[in-house]
Amino acid sequence: MTQPVAIVTGASRGIGAHIADALQDSGYAVERGSRSTAPVTDRLAVEAWVGDIVARHGRIDLLVNNAGVIDAEVALVDSDPEQWWETVETNVRGPYLMTRAVLPHLAPEVGRIVNLNSGAAYKNADNATAYNLSKGALARLTSQLGLGSERTALVFDLAPGVVRTDMTEAMVMHRGRAEWTSPQEVTDLLLAIARGELDPWSGRMVRAGTDTVESLRTRAAAGLSELDRTLGLIAWGDDDPLA
């Protein structure tokens, strides 16, 4: 049997490293991305890296878009425009370029894409606005590709909860936090997605530390509406002309 191939961006540390290790332990040939391997915002670097992977392996079974950054936790009026846009570029342009490069080589029927997202995509807060906005945009990319009759691929948003990493420990909002999401809770969901056990959740968000593989299976069996766990317009009722 041909060894499955996974690409994990931002895999040199933190959640990305945990995911890459778990996939490798599960039998995947794992290509670990970092800024030195291929900056995800550099189109030519991304295309060259993906081309090299395809040349060596002949296939791609899984893409995990994990690379991401957060801007300063300040109000928009106090934000630095350069840092703000760099955050959006890394968190949106990066997954876009990676997905665009990988899609033509994704293994038919078994190929999947996982975008590491955040509950921040769904919350209104006037701080770290670039991060919040970028994760909302990523959620829309996931649903546009992963839902509907013209679905492009099996694409999932995986929110890791709050795993203890260098990034989360440096964030003001997590100072003094006593409870953290375990890396295994993240990798359990990731591996279940990779195995095809959560395909009904394509185009939607699942969250480690809240969801489990079993709870997601149970909920999917009960039925999912088009808007469940997606980012979209909330109508005021059936009489809303935009409903």
Q: Which of 190, 220, 200 is nearest to 151 (CA)?
A: 200
In whole angstroms, what is the distance from residue 228 CA to residue 122 CA? 13
Catalytic residue status for 131: yes
CA 226 to chain centre: 20
Structure tokens at 100: 């665009």
Structure tokens at 159: 């929110």
Tell me the pairing of strands 154-159 and 62-65.
Answer: unpaired
Under a CB-based contact definition with an 8 Å cutoff, are residues 70 and 171 in contact? yes
In whole angstroms, what is the distance from residue 162 CA to residue 174 CA? 9
**28, 96, 122, 131: which one is catalytic?**
131
Structure tokens at 3: 């060894």
> Tokens 């630095």 correspond to what residue?
80
DSSP-derived 3-state class of residue 218: helix
Q: Which of 42, 128, 41 is nearest to 83 (CA)?
A: 128
Structure tokens at 32: 């670990």
Tally the residues of the chain. Answer: 243
Question: Which active-site residues does the annotation give?
Answer: 131
